Amino acid sequence: MSSITRRRALGVAAGAAGAVTVLAQAGPAAASAPRAAAPAADSDPASFDEVYRGRRIQGGPAHGGHHGGHHGGGYSVTIDGQELHVMRNADGTWISVINHYEPVATPRALARAAVRELQGAPLVPLTLG
Amino acid sequence: MTVRKNQATLTADEKRRFTAALLELKRSGRYDAFVTTHNAFIMSDTDDGDRVGHRSPSFLPWHRRFLIEFEEALRSVDATVALPYWDWTADRTSRSSLWAPDFLGGTGRARDGQVTDGPFARTGGRWPVNVRVDGRDYLRRDLGAAGRQLPTRAEVDSVLAMETYDTAPWNSASDAFRNHLEGWRGVNLHNRVHVWVGGQMATGVSPNDPVFWLHHAFVDKLWADWQARHPRSAYLPSAGTRNVVDLHDTMRPWNDVTPADMLDHTAHYTFDTAA
C-alpha cells in the first residue's frame, strides 16, 4: 500500500499559484454571483485558530514549503494539524474534500462542517490501494 | 444494445446481477481506480484554472465518458448488466426500494453513519472503503439528514427549460443549463442529491457509494432529455477558450475523446423511455 499526498496524486497543483491573481481579475463576475455572503473574492478571509468540538481547527494564508500551492487561492485549513483540502468558488464561497457539493461562506464554517462530518475520525492523506 | 433502465423497474434478478458485478469489480481492485480518478479531478478542477470533470461545460460529457467506461467494466464481468438510473424526483425518500437490503442497502446508523444492511455493509466484508479522505473504512450514509429534500420534478423542468447549454465564465458562476443542472447556481439539482445522500457521497470520493453511478446515470439522462427539448442548442464553448474543454478539444484522462464525440448517447446505450 502506498500512501502519498493528494497533491502528488494529482501530479501537479493545477494553476494554484496564479489563483489569487485570476480571482482578482474575475472581480465583476464574482461580485454579481448569487451567493456573495463571503467577503469580496479579491480579499483574503481572516485567519482563525480555535478548538471546535474538541478538535483544533486553524486557517490562514499558506506559506511556502507547506505542500506548495493551494486551490483556496493561497489559504490553508488544518484539523488537528492535518491539512484539509479546500477550494474557493468564483462567488467567494468555499468547499472542502469532506463537503464537496455544499458551499459555505467562510473557511472557518468549512472547518467546523468538516469536524461535524468527521465524527471524531482523523483526516488522512489520500491512500491508494 | 445496452438499455439503461429506471432502477425502480429492475427485477430481483437484475438487481442481483448488478450488485454482484459491483462486488466483483471491487474485489479485483478495478472499482477503486474509478474512485481515485474521480477524486483527482474533483480536487484539481478549479473555477480559475484548468477544469474538466466539474464546474465547467465538460461536466456532462466527462461524466458520460466516465460512466461508459465504468459500464464497460461491469459488462466485462456480466454482459447482461447495464447501469440503472435513479430518478430522484420520483423515488425521493429513504423508503424507496433503491435502499432495500436486496439492492443498495439503507441509510447509516446514528452513531457513526455506518450502513448496516445490503451488499455493501461493512458487516459483509466485501466493500472496504480504501480510497478515502479520513480514517473510516466503511460505507456511510445519512439519507435526507436535517430534513433535506431531493429536487422536485418541477425544479428539474425549470432547468430543462433553459435554452443555452453553458455561458461565460464557464465555471460555478455560470448562468445556463449546465451549471443549474450541476447545482452551483439556482434550484440546485446534482449537487443537492450528493448532499442528501450524505456519507462518502458528499465528499470528493463520492464513487465509493454505488449510488453515485445511478445518480449520474440520471443526470446524464437529463442531458439527453434537454437535447431532445432544444434540438437547436449546441454544446458551448465551440473554440479557443482558456482552461476550458471546447467542443473539439480532447478531455483528460482519456485524451482521445471530445465533447463532440459524446453528444449522441445512442451510439453507446439507450434508455428505457424515449427522451
Which of A94, A73, A78, A93 lies closest to A16 in space, CA to CA?
Answer: A73
pLDDT tens column, B2-39: 999 999 999 999 999 999 999 999 999 999 999 999 99
**Is-contact A68 A7, C-beta < 8 A?**
yes
pLDDT tens column, A9-59: 333 333 333 333 333 333 333 333 344 344 444 467 899 999 999 999 999
Nearest CA in chain B to A72: B46
Q: What is the ipTM of this complex?
A: 0.94
Task: Give the closest of B131, B136, B185 to A128, CB-based.
Answer: B131
State the pLDDT at residue A72: 56
Burial A61-74 (b: 16+ CB within 10 A, else e): ebeeeeeebbbbbb
Chain B nearest-CA distance from A34, in A, is 8
Task: Give the closest of B131, B169, B243 to A90, CB-based.
Answer: B169
| Residue A101 to residue B39, Cβ atoms within 8 A | no
Backbone angles phi, psi at A10, to 5 degrees: -80, -20
State whether residue B195 sits within 8 Å of chain A by CB: yes
Q: Where are the beta strands (DSSP E) in chain A?
A: 2-3, 48-52, 55-61, 75-79, 82-84, 86-88, 94-96, 127-128
Task: Give the closest of B112, B130, B171 to A90, CB-based.
Answer: B171
**Residues of chain A neighbouring B55 (CB-CB closer than 8 A):** 89
pLDDT tens column, A46-87: 999 999 999 999 999 986 444 434 455 689 999 999 999 999
Task: Read off the pLDDT band of A3 (50, 70, 90).
Answer: very low
State the pLDDT at residue A15: 32
State the pLDDT at residue A63: 65
The three cell numbers of residue B47 are: 473555477
Which segments of chain B have a pLDDT < 70? 274-275
Q: How many Cβ contacts (< 8 angstroms) between chains A and B?
A: 121
DSSP 8-state code for residue B152: P
Backbone angles phi, psi at B31, to 5 degrees: -60, -50
Chain B nearest-CA distance from A102, in A, is 7
Distance of alpha carbon B16 from its chain centroid, rounded? 21
Nearest CA in chain A to B43: A97
**Residues of chain B neighbouring A91 (CB-CB closer than 8 A):** 172-173
3-state secondary structure of A49: strand
Nearest CA in chain B to A41: B48
| Residue A97 to residue B44, Cβ atoms within 8 A | no
Best residue of A32, A101, A128 to probe chain B, by most B CBs closer than 10 Å: A101
